[in-house]
Amino acid sequence: MIARLVLAVALLVAACRRPAPPAPVVEVPAPTLPVEPPWVRTREAVQLAVDSARFTAADSILAAFARAEAGSREASEAAFWRALLVADPRNPAFSPAAARAAVEGYASSEGAVRRTDAAVILHLLAVADSLRAAQATQRTATELRDRTRDEEMQKLREELARTQAELERIKRRLGPKP
């Protein structure tokens, strides 16, 4: 009986006890998303313009970015990409001399971060120039050979025509006499 009484009191005390207060709520500020650097959007816009063969628009986007972010590493990157646009053979305004001048201009600029890349591009442009020169030489040699062959063929045709005419004249002379 005493055990029952102690059990009943224990249950009664446990039932009357208040639950522990909840842990205090700590207010944590909402995290802010990192701001996307303007260069990321600019490069995407430039890539879209180049993919659409709008090289002038791409160059304008890069020029505006370089002016707005003057002196920054990204402005140097924009200058590098502008030189690449001039050196892109898909660009309707492409010329080997302009490409070389643009890349050399970038490489010699004070803030040029990608000089090694520019040097590689200059070497590639030099190789392309030598290939173009070799192709032009080959084309000239082929044209000269073809022209010489055509002239020789024409001389042979003329000689054949003279020979045939001479044969006809001889046939008429040797032919039946009345």
Q: Is residue 133 part of a domain?
A: yes
Q: Is residue 94 part of a domain?
A: yes
Q: Is residue 170 part of a domain?
A: no
Q: Is residue 73 part of a domain?
A: yes
pLDDT for 12 = 61
| Interval 67-86 mean pLDDT | 92
Q: Is residue 32 part of a domain?
A: no
Domain that holds residue 136: 38-147
| Interval 91-100 mean pLDDT | 92
Candidates 77, 73, 49, 74; CA nearest to 61 is 49
Candidates 121, 120, 129, 139; CA nearest to 97 is 129
Q: Is residue 19 part of a domain?
A: no
Which pair of tokens denotes residue 102? 């643009």
State if pTM tops 0.75.
no
Q: Is residue 154 part of a domain?
A: no
Which pair of tokens denotes residue 20? 């522990």
pLDDT for 177 = 65
pLDDT band at 56 (very low <50, low <70, confident <90, very high): very high
- Domain count for the chain, please give it: 1
Mean pLDDT score across all residues of the chain: 87
d(CA 61, CA 5): 88
Q: Give the 3-state secondary structure of residue 7.
A: helix
pLDDT for 24 = 81
pLDDT tens digits along 3-53: 776 766 666 666 666 666 777 888 888 888 777 888 899 999 999 999 999
pLDDT tens digits along 122-133: 999 999 889 988
pLDDT band at 153 (very low <50, low <70, confident <90, very high): very high
pLDDT for 104 = 94
Q: Is residue 83 part of a domain?
A: yes
H or E stretch covering 141:
helix 115-174
Q: List the CATH number of the domain containing 44.
A: 1.25.40
pLDDT for 20 = 67
